[in-house]
Amino acid sequence: MGDQSGVRVLFLVLYIAVLAGCGGTTEPQSERAPITDVSYLTADVWNDGQAEVAFYQVERTRDQYGRSNQQRFVVGTYLVKHRFRPTAMTKATDGTGTPAFKYAFFYELDSGSYQYKRNWVVNARQNDLRPFKHSFTSFDWCSNQYREMAFPPDGRVEVRMRSDDYGNRRTSFSSRPQSYPPAELPLLIRGLDFGRSDTLRFHVTVADSAEHVPAKAVRLGRDSLDIAAGTVPAERIAVSYESPVPSLIGEVTDSVETYWRGIGAQRRLLRVNAESGRYQMELVEHVRSPYWKENIWTRLARVSERP
């Protein structure tokens, strides 16, 4: 009887150990494998003390209300390396903090009496693009608006929204590995590493629905792309979403978008097309500049006004 009891105890201990080992994560190993290219993200080009400033032409067939309406406007972006302090959720100016990228996307458009000013800023860890903070500001003649997703080290996504007309909100939900806010997608696509597979999976963090929408990027091959700056070689990448997510370009995404990124050290974003043709964005001009102390407008040939 004692021997049988000992066997049962041993079996129970082993069973619990197996469950503990299996229960450490619910994600398959393939989803936990790195999807970004650390050699690209930490290359010397980002250490030159300058920022990439790039301008794009957006064309879309539906406006911000979802109505059939042709719109055409210029978008500005910048990408710069700096140091970020995750505990304070702000830039570190004293030499401490974590190496990070700051990516901004901004534009202005008119719609009758209304004027829309929109700005997105993302801070992400340099070596793997894990998000730190995603913020959005807008002015539309009705109201100012501020929205934020913060990704603190404790594993939550903290959501804040403040507005005069559109309500105020503060909540949180669980984060997920390899889930990225919508405004980080242009930077993420540039940083994807297709060295081991032509198909990479990730998620998009959506604040309003407190969910992580599954997405997939597939490298389709190389193209020769004609843009305003000339004919350039590019990689073509199809990005599909299980359900539409917020879009910087088209308000909400199509189920499939095609990205073209440049070949070379900087992998510059060249073009984005919606599968339906509802919206597209194409590079017009770019410079590397310490824009905080240099007037870039004297260096530009095809862009003459601020977005």
277 phi-psi bin (left φ>0, alpha ψ -120 to 50, beta other): left
DSSP state of 36: B
Count other C-beta atoms under 10 Å from residue 186's C-beta.
Answer: 24
Residues 17-51 have pLDDT tens digits of 333 333 333 344 344 678 999 999 999 999 999 99
Let me know if residue 10 belongs to a domain.
no
Let me know if residue 16 belongs to a domain.
no
**In the structure encoding, which two tokens stand for residue 122, read together?**
């993302």
Let me know if residue 286 belongs to a domain.
yes
Let me know if residue 205 belongs to a domain.
yes
Residues 46-95 have pLDDT tens digits of 999 999 999 999 999 999 989 999 999 999 999 999 999 999 999 999 98
What is the rounded distance in angstroms from the CA atom of residue 210 to the CA atom of residue 68? 29
- Judge whether 78 and 53 are in contact, CB under 8 Å: yes
What is the reported pLDDT for 112?
A: 75
- Let me know how long the chain is: 307
Domain with 216, as residue range(s), is 27-298
Let me know if residue 18 belongs to a domain.
no
The answer to whether the predicted template modeling score (pTM) of the entire model surpasses 0.85 is yes
Let me know if residue 86 belongs to a domain.
yes
Nearest Cα to Cα of residue 38 among 111, 126, 99, 98: 126
Let me know if residue 31 belongs to a domain.
yes
> What is the number of structural domains in the chain?
1
Tell me the residue type at 279: Y
Mean pLDDT of the region 301-305: 91
